[in-house]
Amino acid sequence: MKTLKNWVLQQKTAEFVELCVDGQHLFRLFVLEEGLCRVLIKQRGELALDRTWSIAPEQDVPWQGRLRESCEGFSLPGYQCEQQDGRLVVTTERLRVTLHQPLWLEWEYLSETAGWQPLCADRPTGAYLLNAHGDGVAHYQRRYSEDNYYGLGEKAGDLNRTGRRFEMRNLDAMGYSAASTDPLYKHIPFTLTRRDPVSFGLFYDNLSTTQLDLGNELDNYHLPYRRYQAEAGDLDYYLFLGPKVLDVTKAFVRLTGKMLFGPKWSLGYSGSTMHYTDAPDAQNQLMNFISLCQEHAIPCDSFQLSSGYTSINDKRYVFNWNYDKVPQPTVMSGAFHQAGMKLAANIKPCLLQDHPRYNEVAQQGLFIRDSESDAPERSVFWDDEGSHLDFTNPAAVAWWQENVTSQLLEKGIDSTWNDNNEYEVWDGEARCHGFGQPLPIKLIRPVMPLLMMRASMEAQQRFAPEKRPFLISRSGCAGMQRYVQTWSGDNRTSWQTLRYNTRMGVGMSLSGLYNVGHDVGGFSGLKPDPELFVRWVQNGVMHPRFTIHSWNDDRTVNEPWMYPEFTPAIREAMALRYRLMPYLYTLLWQASQDDEPMLRPTFLDHEHDPRTFAETDDFMLGRDLLVASVVEPEQRERAIYLPENATGWYDYHSGKWHKGGQTIVVEAPLERLPLMVRGGAVLPHASRVGHIDNATDDQRTLLLFPAPGIAKESGMLFEDDGESWGWQREEALWLSWTVSSDAQCINIAFSVRGNYRPAWQTLEIQLPAGETRALTINGERQQRWTLP
C-alpha cells in the first residue's frame, strides 16, 4: 500500500472540504452535523462501490442502495474553514478538525468547561494508505494509553476490546469459544472509544473483509496506533462525538437506522431444538412439545422450526417440506396457534446442487455467478456444495418472496428465521447482479443477508399488513436492526460460554443491536448439567430474546423439563420474565422509538463511577434493573458492585435498601437470580404467567422502590394490542409518572396519553417491606389508581 502525503485544497462546498492528494486522489471531509463528520477518499477520483446499505439517517435505503456521496437526511449545519501555516482548520460548534501536511487529521471537541480539548488524531507517520492496484485501504489513528475501546458488534472475550485484534469476515462458527473465537457471524466495524471525560464513535462503511487492530500491533517506527484495514472497497468513515458512551451508541443507531418494533409475543419464551424436526416423526414431536408445555406449566409464545422439516435424507433443502416428517403443516400450525404459540421457520439462502428446484433457479439466473464463467458460483454448504441466491437481483428477491408466502405463510407459519446466511463465497470476484450494475461479491458480501432479511420482512408485511413483522437473522451488518432480532449463533455448552455470551450480548447492544439473546443451554457440545442449565435459563430470561435451543453432540435435547427435580426452578425463572413483561415491552418500545439500549453495561448510566468500567458479569436490563447472573458452579452467594448513585439500590427479592458505591454479598440459592433495582425506579408487573394474551392480562402492579429522603424520579409504561400498527394512530397507552419523596411522604403522580385501554383498569402500588412513609397518589392517600 502507498501512503497518501501531499495535498492541496481543491474546493469547499456546503457539504464538504475537498483536497487533491498526491495529484490524483480526492479526499473529502464532510460536516454532516455539529458533532458528526465523515471522511471519504475517492481513489484516482473514483469509488470502488458507489452505494451503501448501512447508512439510513431518516428512512430505509432503496433496495439498490443509497448513493454513497449522498448527504440526504443530515442537517449540514455549515462550518468555518481557514488555512493556517500550511494547515487547514475546519470548525463546527462542537468539533474542530485540523488537516496537516503531510496528510493526517487532528480532532478536538468543545468542552463546556475547558474550551477546545483533544479528542483523537491520525497517526502522523502515515495515516491513509491505498493499494496502488485499487484493492485494499488502511487507516491508522493514534492510540493513547488512557483510551478504552468498545463496540465491534458480536465479538468474543471481554467487553473492553483494548489491546486486541479483530476480523470482520462473516463465518458459520459452529461451536465457537465465546472467550476467544474470531471472526464470528456479523460485520460491524464500529468502535466506541472512551477516554475520561469524553467518548466518540468511529464507523467504517466498508463491507469487505476487514481487520481492526486496537493495540495488539506494535511498530518501533511509529507512535502507538490503532489500525483499520479492508481488503477491498473504499475508505469511508464517520466520526461522531458523544460526549457520553450512551450518546455515541444512540448516534450510531440514528446513523444506521432505528430498531424494528416487533410484536409483544416476540418477548415470550421461544422453544426450539434441532432434535424435533430432525426426527422421522417430526410433526408428532412438535405437537408433543405443546402438550409438554401444558403438562409442566411452562409458558411459551413461539416455537422455531429448525431446518429438518425441509430434509431429504440427511440434507436440507430450503422451501422443501418433507411431508413424511410433517404430513400436515397447516394442521400443525393450527394446533400451535390454538395453544397461543406462533411459529418461525428456518430458511437458508443457498440451494444445494441436488436441490429439487436447483435447475429451475439456475435457468432463471438467480444465483451469484462464477467469476470465470457464466455458471452459478459453487460453495461448500452443509456437507455438500450449493449456490447462493443473489439478493441484488430483483428476480431472485421475487422468487424468494413468492416461496416465503406459498411455502410458509400460507401454511400458517408466522415469521421467518433467516439462518446460515453468512455467504461464505470465497471467490471474491464472483459476480452479483447489483440491481443492474454488476459487482464482485467481495465488495458486498454482508449486504446479502441484509437484503435476504429485508425480502423476508416485506413478504411478511404484504401477507399480513395489519401486523408488525417479526424476523430472526444470524448474520448481517450494520443496519440489520431495522429488520430483525438476532442472536449469538451456535454457541458451545460450558460455564465459560454463559459468562462470555453475556459480554457478547452487551457488546452487540452497545453497537446498535438491541434485540439480542443467546441459545440458552448451549447449542453444541454435551448437554448442560442441571446447575448450569438453571443458571443459563436465569440469565436468558433477562435478555430481549429468550430461546432454549440445542443440537447436542450426545443427541440429547435441551428442554425446560429435562431435569424434573429442577423444573420448578426453571418454571420460576420463566415466571419472573412473564411477570416483568410490561417492563420488557416498555423497554422494547423505548429501544425502537428513543434508541435506548435494552441490555446495558453498568457504566452506561454511571460513567461518573470509574469502578463500573471493570469487567463484570453484571449488566443492566433497562436503566432500572441490575442483573447479577451466577456464572460459576456451586456458587450460592454473589458479590455485586452497586454503582455509585444518589438513590441507592434495592434487593428485588428482599426489598432491602443498600447505598451505592459499594460491593455487597447477597444470597444466591439455585432457585434465585440475584437482582437489584435502582432506587427511585418503578417496575410494572403482570400477574399473568402464560403466553401473551391481552384479553386475560387484567391485573397490573407497580413495584415502587422509592429513593430515600428528598428526590424526584420519573418513568413510563407503554401498552397496546401487542401486534398492530395502531400506536401510530394513538391507539396505545402511554402512562407516565413522577415520584416525589421526602422524609414523611411518597407521592406518585400519573398522566395518560393515547386511546387504547388494556384489560386491566386499576393499578396497585406496592412498596418494599419496611417502608414506613405515607403513600399518596396524585396527592391523595391511597394505594390503587384507576385509569381514566
Q: What is the 3-state secondary structure (H, E, C) of 17-64?
A: EEEEECCCEEEEEEEEECCEEEEEEEECCECCCCEECCCCCCCCCCCC
DSSP structural state of residue 492: B
Pair 128, 204 in one domain? yes
Instruction: Let me know: does 324 contact 280? Beta carbons within 8 Å.
Output: yes
Kindly report, residue by residue over 416-427, the tens digit of the pLDDT. 999 999 999 999
Interstrand relation of 471-473 and 476-477 (parallel, antiparallel or unpaired): unpaired
Q: Is residue 295 part of a domain?
A: yes
DSSP structural state of residue 598: S
Pair 73, 134 in one domain? yes
Q: Which residue has the cell 418454571?
A: 571
Kindly report, residue by residue over 576-635, the tens digit of the pLDDT. 999 999 999 999 999 999 999 999 999 999 999 999 999 999 999 999 999 999 999 999
- Residue 720, domain CATH: 2.60.40.1180
In angstroms, what is the C-alpha Rg of the chain?
27
Judged against a pLDDT cut of 80, whether residue 134 lies above it is answered with no
Kindly report, residue by residue over 516-540, the tens digit of the pLDDT. 999 999 999 999 999 999 999 999 9
Range of the domain at 769: 682-786
Pair 232, 275 in one domain? no
Q: What number is the average pLDDT over the span 538-546?
A: 98
Share of the chain above pLDDT 70, in %: 100
- Residue 309, domain CATH: 3.20.20.80
Kindly report, residue by residue over 671-727, the tens digit of the pLDDT. 999 999 999 999 999 999 999 999 999 999 999 999 999 999 999 999 999 999 999
Kindly report, residue by residue over 470-516, the tens digit of the pLDDT. 999 999 999 999 999 999 999 999 999 999 999 999 999 999 999 99
CA atoms within 13 A on the CB side of 493: 27
What average pLDDT is seen over the chain? 97
Pair 37, 123 in one domain? yes
CA 528/CA 520 separation, integer angstroms: 10
Angle between the 581-594 and 567-579 helix axes, to the nearest 10 degrees?
50
Residue 739's DSSP bridge partners are 713, 748
Kindly report, residue by residue over 770-787, the tens digit of the pLDDT. 999 999 999 999 999 999
CA 542/CA 574 separation, integer angstroms: 10
Pair 49, 115 in one domain? yes
Pair 221, 282 in one domain? no
Q: What is the pLDDT of residue 764?
A: 97
Domain boundary among 433, 453, 483: 483
Pair 214, 290 in one domain? no
Pair 235, 289 in one domain? no
CA 147/CA 410 separation, integer angstroms: 53
DSSP structural state of residue 122: B
DSSP structural state of residue 22: T
Q: Which pLDDT band, with edges at 50, 70 and 90, does 135 fall under?
A: confident
Pair 224, 324 in one domain? no
Domain total in the chain: 3
CA 719/CA 583 separation, integer angstroms: 10
Q: Is residue 397 part of a domain?
A: yes
CA 262/CA 467 separation, integer angstroms: 9
Q: What number is the average pLDDT over the span 74-83?
A: 97
259 Cα distance to chain centroid: 9
Kindly report, residue by residue over 243-257, the tens digit of the pLDDT. 999 999 999 999 999
Q: Which pLDDT band, with edges at 50, 70 and 90, does 189 fall under?
A: very high
CA 285/CA 295 separation, integer angstroms: 15
Share of the chain above pLDDT 90, in %: 98
DSSP structural state of residue 307: G
Instruction: Let me know: does 665 contact 638? Beta carbons within 8 Å.
Output: yes
Domain boundary among 225, 241, 257: 241
* Cell numbers for 629: 447472573
Pair 214, 112 in one domain? yes
Q: What is the pLDDT of residue 305?
A: 97
Amino acid identity of 567? T
Kindly report, residue by residue over 284-321, the tens digit of the pLDDT. 999 999 999 999 999 999 999 999 999 999 999 999 99
Q: Which pLDDT band, with edges at 50, 70 and 90, does 383 fall under?
A: confident
* Cell numbers for 243: 460526549
Query: Helix, strand, or coil here: 169?
Result: coil
Q: Which pLDDT band, with edges at 50, 70 and 90, does 132 fall under?
A: confident
Question: How is the chain split among helix, strand and coil, in percent rounded to 5?
Answer: 20, 35, 45
Q: Is residue 727 part of a domain?
A: yes
Kindly report, residue by residue over 94-110, the tens digit of the pLDDT. 999 999 999 999 999 99
Q: Is residue 113 part of a domain?
A: yes
Amino acid identity of 776? T
Q: What is the pLDDT of residue 226?
A: 98
Q: What is the pLDDT of residue 133?
A: 81
- Residue 103, domain CATH: 2.60.40.1760
Q: What number is the average pLDDT over the span 71-78?
A: 98
Q: What is the pLDDT of residue 299?
A: 98
Q: Is residue 156 part of a domain?
A: no
Pair 9, 114 in one domain? yes
Instruction: Let me know: does 14 contact 71? Beta carbons within 8 Å.
Output: no
Instruction: Look at residues 516, 528, 538 and name the one whose alpha carbon lies nearest to residue 628.
Output: 538
Q: Is residue 334 part of a domain?
A: yes
Q: Please give the backbone phi and psi of residue 226, each rounded to the nearest 5 degrees, phi first.
A: -115, 150
Q: Is residue 305 part of a domain?
A: yes
* Cell numbers for 411: 401454511
Q: What number is the average pLDDT over the span 377-387?
A: 95
* Cell numbers for 202: 468511529
Pair 213, 314 in one domain? no
Q: What is the pLDDT of residue 610?
A: 97
Q: Is residue 690 part of a domain?
A: yes
Judged against a pLDDT cut of 90, whether residue 231 lies above it is answered with yes
CA 46/CA 761 separation, integer angstroms: 63
Interstrand relation of 2-3 and 198-204 (parallel, antiparallel or unpaired): unpaired
